[in-house]
Amino acid sequence: MDTVTLKINGIEVTAPKGSTILEAARLANIEIPTLCFLKEINEIGACHVCIVELGGGRLVTSCVYPAEDGMEVFTNTPKVMESRKTTIELLLSNHNRSCLSCVRSGKCELQTLASELGVEDEGLYDGVKTESKIDDSAIHMLRDNSKCILCRRCVAVCEKTQGIGVIGANSRGFDTCIGSAFDMGLGDTACIHCGQCIAVCPTGALYETDACDDVFAAIADPTKHVVIQTAPAVRAGLGEEFGYPIGTDVEGKMAAALRRLGFDAVFDTNFGADLTIVEEASELLSRVTEGGVLPMITSCSPGWVKFCETYFPDMIPNLSSCKSPQTMQGAIIKSYYAEKKGVAPKDIVVVSAMPCTAKKFEIVRPDECGTGYPDVDYVVTTRELARMIKRARITFETLPDEAFDDPCGESTGAGVIFGATGGVMEAALRTAVEKLTGETLPRLDFEEVRGTQGIKEASYNVAGLEVKVAVASGLSNARRLMEMVRSGEKDYTFIEIMACSGGCVNGGGQPRQPGYVRNTVDIRALRAGALYRNDAAKAIRKSHENPSIIKLYNEYLGSPNSHKAHKLLHTTYVERKINK
């Protein structure tokens, strides 16, 4: 490999040829600050926070400037520090500085840099500010451009990672702002509610629609029986909000915290994931053996489902009719659980803690009310759940580990890996293969579909049938895969698609990590690792062997894909127009 050797702050550094100064500095354990930079997504050198000084006194932006042989670089000279401070002061001069009430206070990258550089609250450049108003037209999020720094991270992730491109820079000069074409509200575009723009925003300009107050009000209402369910990926991310390392599984402390918040029952959406697999595997087997529409495509990711309805409406028949785990579980809570508890469905409030902002959209879709009432009443993201715990002053770190409640709290290893890309596929294969062959699998790990690659493929010989599968995460990858299927270039039996790169562990509602972490650490892999370890430790690792699921069918549903199961657990889809 060709290399270059340079000096950074007097330290000799050897870096691969083609590296930027920013990349070379990291090899010397020197972290140059950035705001706009996201590796392989937004490498535009726009904010100039990453400025460094070359020998000779010239200032350059390190995120795009190539490292060269013999170069001398200084990252913390007075000239550099003054330049960075001036940049932050200029950004703040056009910024809404209501930091105390901002959802990002304490975790804002702009705020952190201002503190590090000694920027005063009242800057030298205060004056007229760009006019802006809050866009609250989308059901899942709000945009407050008074806090936007025009870094364009959100624009880049929407266009490049998700392949949607419904936001960009409008107007020019001082009037430049980020928004949708023709000043449309985000809710009027083909946005698929994934929230990846929120996840990468360095300030409080983007944030999810907050349901915390509504949930607290429901808990305080003595006429309501309020239950919560938590998605697989939440336990792999929630700890980050309380100082735990990325990839820490905090399932037990999470269950304990939820009880202390006052919920009447604490359930695990992994139960709903196991139920989804039983229904989905039955549907797949029916399609395979009876000549149904193939490939069958998973329907657990609401962002992906809306993407399919919008951009690939001709392939709606390929979508599994199964609801997602959260709405399946909600329907069971308001029917089976309601009967067991002796509580009327109208008096039950189901709250979902999800890693996904698109789940806020999913619960208001048509045909998500199996009992005549909404399957789920409120969705809070992992971030919102953390805020609720902190607001209630629950000392999360000192909590004991507690278990989920029955009957919707028992789950298998197959249910927990739903949160990682490839997890739904692997869980389905564990059940479908055994149902097709009538034999017990000697090995449950389908490692070919694991990992954070954008598209994965595998083929299995099952009872004489060739079962070809594919897994995609991130909608730009999904688009590529779907176009190959549509053209006939690729032929599969079963496809799993997740809207977010890496799956739910990297959902738009997960804890936000600063740019330097996102650029240097594979957050997706670390969080997924927590789920796979959880799976490996489970006594039962196949969805169809979950005793609570077996009991549910014996006592209530009858059989997978029965009339009652279809009424409660399956849904329909609609073709959508593109407004972009």
Percent with pLDDT over 70 in the chain: 99
Residue 447 CA from chain centroid, whole number: 22
Determine the pLDDT at residue 242. Answer: 98
Beta-strand relationship, 465-473 and 348-354: unpaired
Provide the token pair at 358. 């698109």
Beta-strand relationship, 206-208 and 141-143: antiparallel
User: In a 3-state reduction of DSSP, which class is residue 344?
Assistant: coil
pLDDT digits (tens, 9 = 90+) for 479-496: 999 999 999 999 999 999
Domain boundaries, the chain: 3-76, 92-208, 212-569
Find out whether 47 and 151 touch, Cβ atoms under 8 Å: yes
Determine the pLDDT at residue 307. Answer: 98
DSSP of 73-99, one letter per residue?
A: EESS-HHHHHHHHHHHHHHHHTS---G
Find out whether 471 and 495 touch, Cβ atoms under 8 Å: yes
pLDDT digits (tens, 9 = 90+) for 103-115: 999 999 999 999 9
Determine the pLDDT at residue 338. Answer: 98
pLDDT digits (tens, 9 = 90+) for 543-561: 999 999 999 999 999 999 9
Q: At what angle are helices 382-391 and 212-220 packed, to 10 degrees?
A: 50
Rounded distance between C-alpha atoms, residue 417 and residue 496, angstroms: 13
Residue recorded with tokens 């087997």: 285
Average pLDDT over residues 568-580: 87
pLDDT digits (tens, 9 = 90+) for 52-75: 999 999 999 999 999 999 999 999
Determine the pLDDT at residue 268. Answer: 98
In the predicted structure, residue 274 carries a pLDDT above the cut 80: yes
Determine the pLDDT at residue 127. Answer: 87
CA geometry: angle 273, 474, 491, nearest 5 deg: 80
Q: In b/e form, how buried is each residue of 140-156, taking b as 16+ CB within 10 angstroms?
A: bbbbbbbbbbbbbbbbb
User: In a 3-state reduction of DSSP, which class is residue 173?
Assistant: helix
Provide the token pair at 326. 């959260």
pLDDT digits (tens, 9 = 90+) for 322-352: 999 999 999 999 999 999 999 999 999 999 9
Q: Which helix (H) or strand (E) holds 60?
A: strand 59-61
Rounded distance between C-alpha atoms, residue 350 and residue 375, angstroms: 7
DSSP of 211-277, one letter per residue?
A: -HHHHHHHHH-TT-EEEEEE-TTHHHHGGGGGTPPTT---HHHHHHHHHHHT-SEEEEHHHHHHHHH
In the predicted structure, residue 580 carries a pLDDT above the cut 60: no
CA proximity to 9, closest of 32, 39, 43: 32
Rounded distance between C-alpha atoms, residue 533 and residue 510, angstroms: 19
Q: What is 212-569's CATH topology? A: Rossmann fold (3.40.50)
pLDDT band for position 126 (50/70/90)?
Answer: confident
Cβ-based neighbour number of residue 165 at 10 Å = 16
**Distance between terminal CA atoms of the chain?**
44
Rg (CA), the chain: 25
CATH topology identical between 3-76 and 212-569: no
Determine the pLDDT at residue 165. Answer: 96
pTM given for the model: 0.95
Average pLDDT over residues 402-424: 96
Determine the pLDDT at residue 261. Answer: 98
Average pLDDT over residues 426-437: 93
Provide the token pair at 164. 């949607």
In the predicted structure, residue 123 carries a pLDDT above the cut 80: no
pLDDT digits (tens, 9 = 90+) for 295-312: 999 999 999 999 999 999
Cβ-based neighbour number of residue 577 at 10 Å = 8
For 295-422, where are the E strands, in sequence order? 296-297, 348-354, 378-381
Find out whether 449 and 471 touch, Cβ atoms under 8 Å: yes
User: In a 3-state reduction of DSSP, which class is residue 248?
Assistant: coil
- Give the chain's mean pLDDT: 96
**CATH code for the part of the protein at 92-208:** 3.30.70.20
Residue 172, Cβ density class (10 Å: 0-12 exposed, 13-18 middle, ≥19 buried): exposed
In the predicted structure, residue 124 carries a pLDDT above the cut 80: no
pLDDT digits (tens, 9 = 90+) for 352-364: 999 999 999 999 9
Residue 441 CA from chain centroid, whole number: 31
Average pLDDT over residues 179-185: 94
Average pLDDT over residues 383-403: 98
User: In a 3-state reduction of DSSP, which class is residue 170?
Assistant: strand
Rounded distance between C-alpha atoms, residue 432 and residue 251, angstroms: 28
DSSP of 46-57, one letter per residue?
A: -S-TTEEEETTS
Find out whether 303 and 475 touch, Cβ atoms under 8 Å: yes
Determine the pLDDT at residue 579. Answer: 59
- Its CATH architecture, for the domain 3-76, is Roll (3.10)
Question: Dihedral angle at the C-alpha atoms of 145, 146, 148, 149, nearest 10 degrees?
Answer: 140
**Longest pairwise C-alpha distance within the chain:** 80
In the predicted structure, residue 27 carries a pLDDT above the cut 60: yes
User: In a 3-state reduction of DSSP, which class is residue 14?
Assistant: strand
Determine the pLDDT at residue 122. Answer: 73
Find out whether 435 and 418 touch, Cβ atoms under 8 Å: no
In the predicted structure, residue 175 carries a pLDDT above the cut 60: yes
